[in-house]
């Protein structure tokens, strides 16, 4: 899989109101292994209160990724989910096809 580099712009981790209305705010399910890696990382790198906050997010259509930091960098970059790792590889059509299958 080609590697991608985070430009710390936050654009790929946030959606505009128009994109929200168009249905692009699809919450892709995490694989159990992905969630376990993220949970371990969060518990090890955030204080207990913030870790509890991050791991209890249940909103299905967040406009901004809860793991996007104040500096627009990914706070879980090393353990980010597959959907984030393939961001630059997949286009809207590919994502839409995947969303329809699931």
Q: Distance between CA atoms of 40 and 48, rounded to whole angstroms?
A: 12
Give the tens place of pLDDT for each residue, 5-42.
666 777 778 777 777 777 665 556 677 888 899 999 99
pTM for this structure?
0.65
| DSSP-assigned letter for residue 60 | S
User: What are 14's strand-pairing partners?
Assistant: 64
Give the tens place of pLDDT for each residue, 32-49.
888 899 999 999 999 999
């Amino acid at each position: 899989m080609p590697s991608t580099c985070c430009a710390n712009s936050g654009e790929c981790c946030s959606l505009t109101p128009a994109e929200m209305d168009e249905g692009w705010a699809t919450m892709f399910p995490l694989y159990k292994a992905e969630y376990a890696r993220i949970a371990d990382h969060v518990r090890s790198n955030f204080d207990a209160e913030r870790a509890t906050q991050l791991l209890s997010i249940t909103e299905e259509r967040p406009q901004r990724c809860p793991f996007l930091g104040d500096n627009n960098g990914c706070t879980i970059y090393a353990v980010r989910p597959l959907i984030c790792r393939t961001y630059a590889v997949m286009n809207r059509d590919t994502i839409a096809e995947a969303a329809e299958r699931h």
